[in-house]
Structure 1
Amino acid sequence: MVKISFQPVSAQKPEKQNDGDKEEIVMSYPQDELVLPLRPKKSPVSGICCLTLGLVIFMSGLIMVSVYVYRYYFTPQVRHEIPEDSLFHCRVMYEDSVYAPLLGRQELQENVGIYLEDNYEQISVPVPEFGGSDPADIIHDFHRGLTAYHDIALDKCYVIELNSTIVMPPRNLWELLVNVKRGMYLPQTYLVQEEMMVTGRVKNMRQLGPFIHRLCYGKETYRLKRRSAHKRIYKREARKCHSIRHFENTFVVETLICDRA
């Protein structure tokens, strides 16, 4: 017969006891046994959820940034697709008091887009039939209070504060062009001259707003200052100037842009 018992570990060796046919086997075990708690295993599903959530947040931020950039820098380019009643092809007859005895009545053609929602106008003047004027694209941004001229012949941009005494607001210009289209107004008009001087180069293009920024992006862009009437020099050969003739009111405007002397 075998008897198995457990007793605490002690420094003394266990004594062997012989009790007839009985044999006792003594097994020792430690009193304080360290039992570590089992750590629950991480589920792979929770890791996938965290990764998915991070991707969703990242993609949401990317989409918001993309929408912002598209709205403010690319949408104006797409908005050429505006209703037909906001696009006009104008043909205006006018008299030039300087050249009238030689040429008589002259004709000016241009394409005009009226963007009422964004409060700006875009004018495209093709190569004129008679020399003396450059083809150009013009933007009057009433929200920013700025006008930009892109002289296509020079491939340069010029920016100046919008002159509201000459340029009609979008709603008024739209009404005028609708009436002209119906043949109600402006069978013939006259020419008004304005002169501007280049003052310096524009370095920060984004401050000009999205519409002018799109027009002048990648081009040399300069600021202009208007010359007062008594300071004008009417001999064009005495200074380096170029002119842009355009129609944005009940009269034709000749904008003279002169380099600094």
Structure 2
Amino acid sequence: MGKITFQHGGAQKSEKDEQDADKTEIVVPLEQQHEELSVPVRTRKAAVSGLCCMTFGSIVLMSGLVLASIYFYRYYYVNQLPRENLFQCRVLYEDAVYAPFRRQQELEESVEINLEDNYEQINVPVPHFGGSDAADIIHDFHRGLTAYYDITLDKCYIIELNTSIVMPPQNLRDLLVNVRRGTYLPQTYIIQEEMVVVGQVYSVQQLGVFIDRLCGGKETYRLKHRSSRRRINKRKEHNCHSIRHLENTFVVETRICDQA
């Protein structure tokens, strides 16, 4: 005899429930799902912002370095001129006014000529014979100005460039090249120009980089040529100072006097 067995529906249901129990369903709140989706977007925005900040900082840093390099070059390396534009001069001349009993006097100076920027710089050391101050002089043909820095007084003086006396850079360079070669000697007489202080200059930055480099941070005064050619009387001699220098085929004595 065969045995027929019937499996109850309850057993099938229990097995199905066990299978469903193995498949655990996790329900995530909607707010948490939104946060999880937002995290990558925020990370991406933060990375982009950081990159922008780094780029901007790099631009600012490079701009600062460029400006610092320009400043450093203009103020410290502008004097690094070619050797052929640097001159050491010694000139013998006669002074019939202040030293009539001496045959000749010697003027010594160093000259820098910058043809590119169109200016001349003259350094006059303390003279051996006295009667003149040590000085640094700049003739800026681009600005049309001359600056005298009297080293003895530690003061600067500014005046319009006198092109009737001061030779342009190219001409002065040619003259000094010929003097260096011994093919030409300047004339041995001296001429005088008299100037008087007319006011103080409180800022020299607008006068150009070369004058600013020479006179920046120093007492600076404006000059004008004395209208009268009369000699200054002895009582006022102590208010005047002289600078002797060569900037042409003759020696020039620049007398700078305070206001009477």
Deviations 1:107-145 (A, max 9, x none): 100000111111111110000011110000111111111
RMSD between aligned alpha carbons?
Answer: 2.3
Size of the alignment, in residue pairs? 229
Moved more, 157-166 or 42-51: 42-51
- Which residue of structure 2 lines up, in the alignment, with residue 181 of structure 1? 180
CA distance in 2, matches of 1:136, 1:95: 21
> Counterpart of 2:63?
64
TM-score, structure 2 as length reference: 0.80
2:235 pairs with 1:233: no
CA contact 2:186–2:250 (8 Å) conserved in 1: no
- Relative to structure 1, the CA distance from residue 257 to residue 181 in structure 2 (aligned partners, 3 Å threshold; closer, same or farther) is same
CA–CA distance in 1 between the matches of 2:69 and 2:242?
34
Match of 2:48 in 1: 49
2:191: which partner in 1? 192
8 Å Cα contact 2:112/2:121 also seen in 1: yes
Higher helix share: 2
1:91-170 matches, within 5 Å, as: 91-170=90-169
Change in Cα spacing, 1:83 to 1:236, as seen in structure 2 (3 Å) is farther
Alignment CA distance shift 1:66-1:139 (3 Å): farther
Aligned-partner Cα distance in 2 for 1:169–1:105: 27
Rounded Cα–Cα distance in structure 2 between residues aligned with 1:203 and 1:63: 33
In terms of fraction of residues, the more strand-rich structure is 1
> What percentage of aligned pairs have identical amino acids?
56
Gaps spanning 5+ residues in structure 1: where? 3-33
Give the conservation status (yes or no) of the 8 Å contact 2:139–2:146: yes
Q: Which amino acid aligns with 2:38?
A: P
Stretches of structure 2 that go unaligned for 5 or more consecutive residues are 1-8, 11-28
